[in-house]
Structure 1
Amino acid sequence: MTAFDYAALLLRVSVGGLFLAHAYLKYFVFTPKGTTDYFQSLGVPGYFGLIAIAAETAGGLGLIFGVATRLAAILLIPLMLGTIVLVHGKNGFWFTNAGGGWEYPALWVVCLIIIALIGSGQAALWPIWG
């Protein structure tokens, strides 16, 4: 493996792990009901919260294991853009602002674009679409 492959692995696993952490938070801390209620409070159908949990779980696992890596990254980008538009965009740039700004979700979008461009590297379980 090359330095490029190690870099791709590190990026995939770190971003995928963060998506799993956020899915865990929505499912086990906020609960699916709390998550759907929150999404409804944003003016979107509550079931989008369940879609977010599923996308973060499946996408996070796909990134970590290198399964359809490019596809997983591309499909997670709209989720993060929605986070910026519906939640964090109105709070300014800095994530330390009240309610969290859009700085952190924007970094996620950039990381996902990079993953979509470079793929999974050699350290992938299923490099198809990787």
Structure 2
Amino acid sequence: MNAFTGRAMRPAADVTALIARIAVGVVFIAHGWQKVGMGLSGTAGMMEGMGVPAPQAAALFAIAVELGGGALLIAGLLQPVAGVLLALQMAGAILFVHASAGLTGEGGYEFPLVLGAAALALGFSGGRFALDRLLPWGRERSPEAVPAAS
């Protein structure tokens, strides 16, 4: 890709990143909302039945990360933090719930694997249409403002 095509593709890349952030964020929020519907004790009981350690804490973490992280991902706010937390949540789901079922099939880990990887990738490359861009850490600096490497 040369300088021209890179500039020409950037708006399309930003739009597709926004669409992906929305899609992945909505899925996380939907799963978090399912857990809210079960209640904290119901979610903890489910996790305990699956052998998840510290099920009460795991349930609280799952609900908070899936709802909050999904919303942050959609908004494009604190994207790297949201991406890492969502990926960690999915790593826990794979490790404690899905790994024994293998990659594909009933209870397989392909879905949490893709969700976690997508959240992590979008957390670090979520495009310019994000609230992070309005905050000091998300603004692009002009080449003159970047200190020269010594």
Instruction: Tell me the TM-score normalized by structure 2.
Output: 0.76
Which residue of 1 is the match for residue 88 of structure 2?
78
**Residue 53 (str. 1) matches residue 74 (str. 2):** no
AA in 2 matched with 1:3:
A
Which residue pairs with 2:97 in the alignment? 87
What is the CA–CA distance in structure 2 between the aligned matches of 1:124 and 1:73, rounded to whole Å?
14
Q: Which runs of 5+ in 2 are unaligned?
A: 1-9, 139-150
Whether 1:23 and 2:32 are equivalent positions in the alignment is yes
1:2 pairs, out of 3, 6, 11, with 11
**What is the number of equivalent residue pairs in this alignment?**
125
For the residue of structure 1 that corresponds to 2:131, the secondary structure is coil
1:32, CA displacement in angstroms? 1.6
Gaps of 5+ in 1: none
RMSD: 1.6
Alignment partner of 1:37 is 2:36: no
Residue 85 of structure 1 deviates from its aligned partner by: 0.6
Equivalent residue letter for 1:13: I
Instruction: Tell me: higher relative CO, structure 1 or 2? Use CA pairs within 8 A at least 6 residues apart.
Output: 1
**CA-to-aligned-CA distance 1:60-109 (integer Å, 9 cap, x gap):** 11001111112110121111001001111111111x32xx1011111112
Aligned partner letter, 1:11: A
The aligned amino acid for 1:103 is E
Which protein shows a greater Rg?
2
After TM superposition, the runs of 4+ consecutive aligned structure 1 residues lying more than 4 A away are: none
Which residue pairs with 1:121 in the alignment?
127
